[in-house]
Chains A and B, each alone.
Chain A
Amino acid sequence: MTILETWLKQATRHLSRDSTAQVRREIQEHYESAFEAGIAGGASAEEADRLAVIALGHAKNANRQYRKILLTSAEARMLREGNFEARAVCSRPWLRWLFLVMPIAAVFVDSAAVARALLAGGIAMGVLFAAPLLPVYTPSRGRIFRGAKWIVLVATIGLAFGADALKWSWLLSSCLWLVVWIVWIEWTRVSIRRKLPVADWPKQLYL
């Protein structure tokens, strides 16, 4: 493997396929220009190659900078997969069955607490699944929707547990992986919004 190839491999680490191709093309082109300029300046092929590689700088720094402005592989995957929340439910049959069984069970249990929890869950699900149907197609509307979404989700927890919401807050810590997962999704979306021009945003990025 040449030094340039090693450099490119490090500089494009964790970048999406398209980003990697773009970086490779421009760096390769830059390297060739630098190499030819070196040869034209009277340097030997070896010396010109060495100088051209030195001029590239540190591959790790380049990778850090590229990851700030180009899509990473995780971000590209999220864009491809569309609405994450809907997929999370639709791709798991047991979750669909659970949603079906819960209201039926509630009818037999005849409990106000269960009814309240189900109502809260229904509201939360309604907000999540109605999102693609809402006229949210500008960044400002997107911000309003996201704000409303988080308020509804927090209120849902309050409604589900009623006055005992604080007492039951330990439950959240037992679902830490879920909280981390949701935060990671939101964080990745923020990062994608920063990198992509608004004209290229798919619907789910507004939500």
Chain B
Amino acid sequence: MDRKTLSRVEILQGTLDLLILRTLLFGPAHGHAIAKHIQRTSEDLLQVETGSLYPALHRLEAKGWISASWERSEMGKRARFYSLTSQGKKELSVEQIKWETFARAMGLVLS
């Protein structure tokens, strides 16, 4: 499949939470860094819209899977840094297993 066809991959419903949790496994990050990390590691295939990212962050925070605190970013600005909680780590491993099972099943059907 050529690069042009893959240039706009929509993030599947429900997978944004998993992407955020996985990104925060590497350490605390602010919203922009999370979006950039997802974009970079997916080789620019996934682009998280800001309007979806922050509501998802609020949702995860309300569930207690991530926590947030105001800190200084690498550019010296005050930014809200999000980090994974122990509950979030557990949830991440559960969600990751679910996703891998689903991806394997899809692969089997489509191959």
Contacts and interface: CB of A to CB of B under 8 A. Distances in A.
B70 to A, nearest CB: 10
A70 B52 contact: no
Contacts of A37: 32, 36
A34 interface: yes
A4 B49 CA distance: 14
A138 B75 CA distance: 45
Contacts of A58: 49, 51
Given A26-B31, A30-B32, A33-B75, A55 B50 contact: yes
Contacts of A29: 30-32, 77-80
Contacts of B59: 69
Interface in A30-85: 30-34, 36-37, 55-59, 61-63, 65-66, 68-70
B35 interface: yes
Interface residues of B, number: 23
A8 to B, nearest CB: 11
A65 B47 contact: no
A23 B53 CA distance: 12
B50 A33 contact: no
B51 A61 contact: yes
B35 A55 contact: yes
Contacts of A68: 55
Contacts of A36: 75
A197 interface: yes
Contact of B55 (A30, A55, A69, A197): A69
24 contacts: A26-B31, A26-B54, A26-B80, A29-B32, A30-B31, A30-B50, A30-B54, A33-B31, A55-B47, A57-B50, A58-B49, A61-B51, A62-B50, A63-B51, A65-B52, A65-B55, A66-B55, A68-B55, A69-B55, A69-B58, A69-B59, A69-B62, A70-B58, A197-B62
Interface of A: 11, 23, 26-27, 29-34, 36-37, 55-59, 61-63, 65-66, 68-70, 195, 197
Interface of B: 30-33, 35-36, 47, 49-52, 54-56, 58-59, 62, 73, 75, 77-80
